Amino acid sequence: MRLLVLLTPLVLAACALGADPTPEALRSLPAGAWQLEKPHASLIFRVKHLGLSYYTARFADFDATLDFDPANPAAAKLTAIVNPMSVRTDHPTDAGWDAQLGGSLLGGNQFTQITFESTRVETTGETTGRVTGNLTLRGVTAPVTLDITYNGGMDRAVLYQGRAAVGFSAKGKLNRSAFGLTQYASFVGEEVEILIEAEFTKR
Amino acid sequence: MRSILAALAATALFAAPALAQSEAPAGQYVVDRTHATVMWKGLHQGLAWYPARFTNFDIQLTFDPADVTKSKVTATIDPKSIETDFARTRAAGNTTDFNAELATGERFFNAGKFPQITFASTAVTKTGANTGKMTGNLTFLGVTKPVTLDVTYIGNRNDPRVKKHKVGFQALGTINKTQWGMAPGGPIADNVQIEIHAEFVQK
């Protein structure tokens, strides 16, 4: 009982601190399979429109699994699946635009999934790395590289029922023509920027 | 003589598009919401950046390319148009309307009491050929405080579809949510990033 009284302030203090961004915290995380916490993950892409703006859209439905050992990050494996029909552009007047973009341009009418499977993981610093993998979009597979930044980790995340949690940001670029996405080349840029935020918890 | 005329005509033909690229007409512009994004990102539990966007907004621009420091922007945002895609990412059985909670919750944007977020620029300075800083008054939760956005002028051109001139910008900034009366701490860190991509069409 007295132990509980002693522990309570410590637990509360730990909650208030949030994730630890230090390399030591990253290294102390448990090894194994991690699952994406979907409500706390986002997948955004941007493409230049008319040479005027960075047109920004987002996929609302995707999932990822991470096999990760902090002692050996180069052995990590990342797989992701994205529902192309879940693309969200917030078009103000055309309610059918997302379905057209997802179904026709991004291949959702024929291919129910966009997939990514890592083939190579490198560390570039104590809390940064690079993941190369095969992206399959519209049934076409081509390599894509993502730059990864570790944001923080928690041994016991109250939000996730005490499971260990880790958070990453990832950025990458692809040339859309590599996936046969050649439409609207006169006013939509060739380069697509990918921005990912992801929280994972230990299974 | 004919060759000089021909040369002049050729020069004029080539010069015209170049001029169109470098100079947009001065005057009144309004945001093209089809090609605009208003979003914010906050670091969630120190793990990953949580993005949300407002899908309903209006931005008016008075633009003077000869002296951009004379430019003015006013904007209104409907806080009820906040979109997080939570409905697509929540666990099975979770029926929380998180968008509504963020929009109208007293801890968040309290839209029932404060139905508009507004911005009115007060000063523009030029920092480079295509960059500048825009300072203005941002009002939400009934509190008005200055913010400064780093603005990049992406380009301008005639949009053949609407047969009007367009200009495009990106604006990035960081605000401390507690200055507008939001409680410090909590799941989202105090410093919140603002990210705006927008095309404007001549009125």
| In contact, A157 and B44? CB cutoff 8 Å | no
Mention every residue, 6+ apart, whose C-beta is less than 8 A from residue A25: A19, A152, A153, A154
Evaluate if residue A3 carries a pLDDT over 60: no
Secondary structure class of B161 (helix, strand, coil): coil
Q: Name the closest residue on chain A to residue B55, using Cα atoms.
A: A90
What's the pLDDT score for residue B10? Answer: 43
pLDDT band of residue B23 (cuts 50, 70, 90) is confident
What would the pLDDT profile of B125-146 be if each residue is shown by its tens digit? 999 999 999 999 999 999 999 9
Characterise A81 by phi-psi region: left (phi > 0), alpha (psi -120 to 50), beta (else).
Answer: beta
What's the pLDDT score for residue B119? Answer: 98
Inspect the interface and report whether the beta carbons of A90 and B55 lie closer than 8 Å: yes
What would the pLDDT profile of B79-100 be if each residue is shown by its tens digit? 999 999 998 899 889 999 999 9
The separation between CA A138 and the C-alpha centre of its own chain, rounded to angstroms, equals 19
What would the pLDDT profile of B163-179 be if each residue is shown by its tens digit? 899 999 999 999 999 99
Cα–Cα distance list, A5 to A2, A8, A38 (Å): 5, 5, 35
H helical segments located in B91-200? 98-104
What's the pLDDT score for residue A47? Answer: 98
Inspect the interface and report whether the beta carbons of B50 and A53 lie closer than 8 Å: no
ipTM: 0.91
| In contact, B20 and B158? CB cutoff 8 Å | yes
Main-chain dihedrals φ then ψ at residue B171, nearest 5 degrees = -135, 130
Residue of B53, B91, B199 lying closest to A53 (CB–CB): B199
Q: Are strands B57-63 and B48-54 parallel, antiparallel or unpaired?
A: unpaired
Evaluate if residue B25 carries a pLDDT over 70: yes
* Average pLDDT score over residue span A5-18: 48
Q: Which of A41-55, A144-158, B19-33 is the least confident region? A: B19-33
Note whether A125 contacts B: Cβ–Cβ < 8 A: no
What's the pLDDT score for residue A148? Answer: 98
Interface mutation target, options B34, B40, B47, B162, chain A, most CBs of A under 10 Å:
B47
| In contact, B108 and B139? CB cutoff 8 Å | no
* Average pLDDT score over residue span A75-84: 98
Interface mutation target, options B38, B40, B45, chain A, most CBs of A under 10 Å:
B45
Comparing CA positions, the residue from A21, A38, A3 lying closest to residue B46 is A21
